[in-house]
Amino acid sequence: MANYQFPRDEFDDYEARPTPVGVHRAPRSRWSRLWPFLLVAALAGSIGVVGIWSLTRAQDITGPQEAPPAIIEPTPGTDDDNGEDAYEPGDPGYENGDEYQQVEANVNYEVSIRVLNDTGPAGEAGRGRDRLTEHGFTNVVADNFPGDSGLTASTVWYTGDNHDSALAVAEALGIPADRVTEHAVTGAEIAVIVRGSLGL
């Protein structure tokens, strides 16, 4: 410095200015090094919380997904409650307009039947015989009732274990099931006492 030939200027006063010396940076504080990592961690946590809340909210709205109930088809010819044959009004076995009865399996189509006209229109017993024949009964005769039965409506009498067959006869002739009764019968196992026109 003793041989420095130029006059001193502002660049020579470096010792009085607080500037970094050489190419090295000033030391960074601990907070300046940590805050980027803390910011990333906070953002990641916020995104996770929002995602979990969204999934929980969607489940609350839609509710749990349950499997659809199995569909069990009823067996043809049966009802849904007890498996017995299901009849409709007008079918053999539909009694008195409001009660189902399983009678078809116990009908004896060879049972002896007499259709007796008792104050019914002329030829009504023959019409009843023909209707029963159409329904498959093979042993049916038509005749007049001897005397006055004292009945107020057409009735079916039966003997023995012919109850189901008598019900089928009544159904075929349009006679209500409550007019089917066990009673002594002459010359047959089932007798149809015709009072008035049959419901044919």
Query: Domain containing 127 — which CATH number?
Result: 3.30.70.2390
* Residue 79 scores a pLDDT above 60: no
Residue range(s) defining the domain that contains residue 181: 104-194
Residue-level pLDDT at 94: 46
Task: Report yes or no on 6 lying in a domain.
Answer: no
**CB within 8 Å of 191: residues ≥ 6 apart:** 113, 114, 115, 116, 156, 157, 158, 183, 185
Position 30: which residue type?
R
Residue 97 has what pLDDT?
Answer: 45
Would residue 57 count as lying in a domain? no
pLDDT-based confidence at residue 69 (cuts at 50, 70, 90): low
Q: Regarding predicted confidence, which is higher, 101 or 127?
A: 127
Of 67 and 91, more confident: 67
Domain presence at residue 63: no
90 belongs to a structural domain? no
Domain count, the chain: 1
- pLDDT per residue over 122-141, tens digit each? 999 999 999 999 999 999 99
Residue 182 has pLDDT above 90, yes or no: yes
Predicted TM-score (pTM) of the model is 0.50
